[in-house]
A and B are shown apart, each in its own frame.
Chain A
């Protein structure tokens, strides 16, 4: 074992106190979700009526809530320990899947629920928002999460002014 080594750091004690990129990404996803939600709800309303619209709205809320809970779990547990983050996320996967299953299962017989638009909205919103978000991800050491909106370039301005 390397535990005698003074430079040995256990994974149980490692954590990340820096900014959480997941939270920023999910805020951006929710922002995009609020843009596409009226379109999805409108399409559901066109094909399945008022019940379809309610089902579509419920599906969008489920997906955005799922993203928010996933990001919160990773951000919160990463500040404590990487090992806890892994455990929380793996069990969180089961938990969130169970919550979504229960959320659909318990309303399946409700009068305002149409299962087809509900299920289609869940899948399309989840995958679509993720692909859309890929356009805004930077993935660099300087900007590990989202791309910066405006990059100030004072050096360029200085060189042109001189």
Chain B
């Protein structure tokens, strides 16, 4: 707890020494990282659900495994697009 308090005090001291432009860039970097992290959580959960259900379906009906795999692959690719959009937003916010 004491260590956390020291870190917080150090951060406040550093923030107080920043110019407004530096503070703005600092906040933008933090928010961009947060946005990327949040954007990756949803697709991660979605891909887990897709694969879980697909494997359940393949185990129940092995004869339809090909069909399930096709649906699964496309579903995963579409879900991944969300993560890519989050990543692109991060890159553009941070570096562009």
Contacts and interface: CB of A to CB of B under 8 A. Distances in A.
Contacts of B73: 21-22, 25, 70-71, 74
A89 B77 CA distance: 11
Interface string A128-159: 00100110010111001100000000000000
A134 B65 contact: no
A18 interface: yes
Contacts of B42: none
Interface string A111-140: 000011001101100110010011001011
Contacts of A18: 65-66
Contacts of A93: 43-44, 47, 76, 80, 83
Contacts of B74: 25, 130, 133-134, 137
A96 B80 CA distance: 10
A58 interface: no
Interface residues of B, number: 36
Nearest to B79: A93
A137 B70 contact: yes
Contacts of B52: 86
A104 interface: yes
Q: Place the interface of chain A in its size category.
A: 35 or more
A25 B75 CA distance: 13
Nearest to B40: A97
A89 B87 contact: no
A145 B70 contact: yes
B80 A21 contact: no
Given A115-B96, A139-B67, A97 B83 contact: yes
27 contacts: A14-B58, A18-B66, A19-B66, A22-B73, A71-B73, A85-B55, A93-B43, A93-B47, A93-B76, A93-B80, A96-B80, A100-B87, A108-B95, A115-B91, A115-B92, A116-B96, A119-B91, A119-B92, A126-B80, A126-B81, A130-B74, A130-B77, A137-B70, A139-B70, A144-B64, A144-B66, A144-B69
Interface of A: 11, 14, 16, 18-22, 25, 67, 70-71, 74, 78, 82-83, 85-86, 89-90, 93-94, 96-97, 100-101, 104-105, 108, 115-116, 119-120, 122-123, 126-127, 130, 133-134, 137, 139-141, 144-145
Given A97-B84, A127-B78, 14 more contacts: A16-B69, A18-B65, A25-B73, A70-B80, A86-B51, A89-B47, A93-B43, A94-B44, A101-B87, A104-B87, A119-B96, A122-B84, A130-B77, A130-B78
